[in-house]
Structure 1
Amino acid sequence: MTDLFDLSGRTALVTGSSRGIGLALAEGLAAAGAHVVLHGRDLDRLRREADSLQATGAAVSDVAFDLTDESAVRDGIAELVGRVGAVDVLVNNAGMQLRGPFTEFTGADWDRVIATNLTSAFLVSREVARGMQQRRRGKIVNIGSVQSMLGRPGITPYAASKGGIVMLTRGMCADLGPSGIQVNAIAPGYFATELTSALVDDPEFSAWVERRTPAGRWGRVEDLVGAAVFLASAASDFVNGQVLAVDGGMTAVV
Structure 2
Amino acid sequence: MTARSIQKLFDLSGKTALITGGSRGLGLQMAHALGEAGARIMLSSRKAEDLEQAAAELQAAGIDTRWIAADCSKEEDTRRLATETLERMGAVDILVNNAGASWGAPAEDHPVEAWDKVMNLNVRGYFILAQQVARAYMIPKKAGRIINIASIAGLNGNPPEMQTIAYNTSKSAVIGFTHTLAAEWGKYNINVNAICPGFFMTKMAAGLIKSIGEDKMASHAPLGRLGDDEDLKGITLLYASDAGKHITGQWLAIDGGVSVVLGA
- The two structures have a TM-score, normalised by structure 2, of 0.92
- Computed over aligned residues only, the root mean square deviation of the Cα atoms, in angstroms, reads 1.2
Please name the residue that 1:138 is paired with: 144
Amino acid corresponding to residue 147 of structure 2 in structure 1 = V
Please name the residue that 1:235 is paired with: 243
CA distance in 2 between partners of 1:111 and 1:215 (Å): 35
Q: CA deviation at 1:36?
A: 0.8
Please name the residue that 1:114 is paired with: 119
Amino acid corresponding to residue 221 of structure 2 in structure 1 = T
Please name the residue that 1:215 is paired with: 223
Determine helix, strand or coil for the equivalent of 1:185: strand
Identity of aligned residues (%): 38
Q: Which runs of 4+ in 1 moved over 4 A?
A: none
Retained in 2: the 8 A contact 1:193–1:221? Answer: no
Please name the residue that 1:168 is paired with: 177
Please name the residue that 1:88 is paired with: 93
The residue correspondences of 1:1-254 to structure 2 (distance < 5 A) are 1-130=6-135, 131-152=137-158, 153=160, 154-202=163-211, 204-254=212-262
Deviations 1:32-82 (A, max 9, x none): 111011101111121121122112211101112221222322222112111
Amino acid corresponding to residue 66 of structure 2 in structure 1 = S
Deviations 1:171-197 (A, max 9, x none): 100111110000000000111112222
CA distance in 2 between partners of 1:189 and 1:209 (Å): 10
Determine helix, strand or coil for the equivalent of 1:240: coil
The gaps in structure 1 that reach 5 residues or longer are none
Amino acid corresponding to residue 189 of structure 1 in structure 2 = G
Count of aligned pairs:
253
Deviations 1:212-232 (A, max 9, x none): 211101111320111001000
CA distance in 1 between partners of 2:83 and 2:204 (Å): 30
CA distance in 2 between partners of 1:121 and 1:128 (Å): 11
C-alpha spacing 1:29/1:100, structure 2 compared with 1 (3 Å): same
Determine helix, strand or coil for the equivalent of 1:253: helix
Q: CA deviation at 1:241?
A: 0.2
Q: CA deviation at 1:92?
A: 0.4
- The two structures have a TM-score, normalised by structure 1, of 0.96
CA distance in 2 between partners of 1:52 and 1:109 (Å): 33
Amino acid corresponding to residue 43 of structure 1 in structure 2 = A
